Amino acid sequence: MNTTIADLAGVDRIIAEHGGRADALIQVLLDVQAEISWLPADALARIAERLDVPPALVQHITTFYKAFSLVPKGRHRVHVCMGTACHVRGALRILDTVEELTGLAPGETDPDLKFSLETVNCLGCCALGPVIEIDGKTHGNVSLARTEDVLKSYE
């Protein structure tokens, strides 16, 4: 899947916002990903060219940091906390329910690009466990029944 002409115009705009400076590479990558949800190869090539940095450096950075995605992500990013507090309160059952409802395993995105599922080690809200975070919104004390309701609210 490639970016569109409009996406590349957005890449150019983001680069311009950062003054076309090579030292802004990571921030440019973050901003581009925030706008188009992932970092396709043609966008990476454009960034390397416009910032005058080696494509290998761009590739190295995007594969080193987990924050970057080189594959399309869903419109809704679902994170299930697997930290100790959530784990002892049933996070594995919550994850199983999310997998069953979405048809996804952790690290996968559905073909419609609706949901991406990830597990995380801790979301920092242990008193609310088990926790699901969707698009940055925390849903605490989720039960198996409530998990379905939470997911349906993002359809």
How would you write the pLDDT of the chain (155 residues) with one tens digit per residue? 455 555 788 999 999 999 999 999 999 999 999 888 899 999 999 999 999 999 999 999 999 988 899 988 898 999 999 999 999 999 999 999 999 999 999 999 999 899 999 999 999 999 999 999 999 999 999 999 999 999 999 87
Burial class (CB in 10 A: 0-12, 13-18, 19+), 103: exposed
Cβ–Cβ < 8 Å for 119, 106? yes
Domain identity same for 39 and 95? no
State how far the Cα of 102 lies from the Cα of 114, in Å rounded to an integer: 9
Closest listed residue to residue 125, CA positions, set 115, 113, 136: 136
Domain identity same for 87 and 113? yes
Structural domains in the chain (count): 2
State how far the Cα of 68 lies from the Cα of 28, in Å rounded to an integer: 12
- Residue 122 is predicted with a pLDDT of 93
Domain identity same for 47 and 87? no
Domain identity same for 81 and 147? yes
Domain identity same for 110 and 136? yes
Among residues 64, 87, 112, the one where a domain terminates is 64
Q: Which residue range forms the structural domain that includes residue 103?
A: 76-152
Cβ–Cβ < 8 Å for 47, 28? yes
Domain identity same for 80 and 60? no
Q: What is the pTM of this model?
A: 0.74
